[in-house]
Chains A and B, each alone.
Chain A
Amino acid sequence: AQSVTQLGSHVSVSEGALVLLRCNYSSSVPPYLFWYVQYPNQGLQLLLKYTTGATLVKGINGFEAEFKKSETSFHLTKPSAHMSDAAEYFCAVSDRPGGGADGLTFGKGTHLIIQP
């Protein structure tokens, strides 16, 4: 069984500062890793994904994440925060295409707050 741990239920950064949201996973097989963003009262939108190949993955809105197998981590970063980045961010892992009966396993989410 896989699991995801997101460190920090709330992260606050100043506008223009670096954003770093931490995600660690456990999986018995090579994982497929995702970051989703959820704006208030909306569904989840895929930010980026890692399946195979390059370990540094670029996504939408200037976000990127790096898969580090040795650290079992998939941290999300953005060089310069913008007010519009304020949202809930979810890290997720899957061990197979289509999700299967386990679906995606999600972390509990990190609420990103941007200070003006």
Chain B
Amino acid sequence: DTGVSQDPRHKITKRGQNVTFRCDPISEHNRLYWYRQTLGQGPEFLTYFQNEAQLEKSRLLSDRFSAERPKGSFSTLEIQRTEQGDSAMYLCASSMGTGNTEAFFGQGTRLTVV
């Protein structure tokens, strides 16, 4: 499968624990996005990378959230001191640079905080 892949697919954690998710974009894509989707809602933008540079962050991304894309390839999203309100599907998407606007989404990581 040459699409966007995310790992793990599901994560259950206790409140207060830290979690980290990984996203592997389509190999030639230099843009990478993280979105969060709660049940019955559309995805909400969290952050955007162009290569290794994090260029945009939503106000939704509190200081407990941090994202990295160290070599401009895969990305990680870490949530520290998880809260029940963090329970959601975390979606990663990637796209090529200028000239091609389509964003391809991964299947997401479903986080449940108990």
**A, B assembled together:** no
List the interface of chain B (C-beta within 8 A of A).
Answer: none
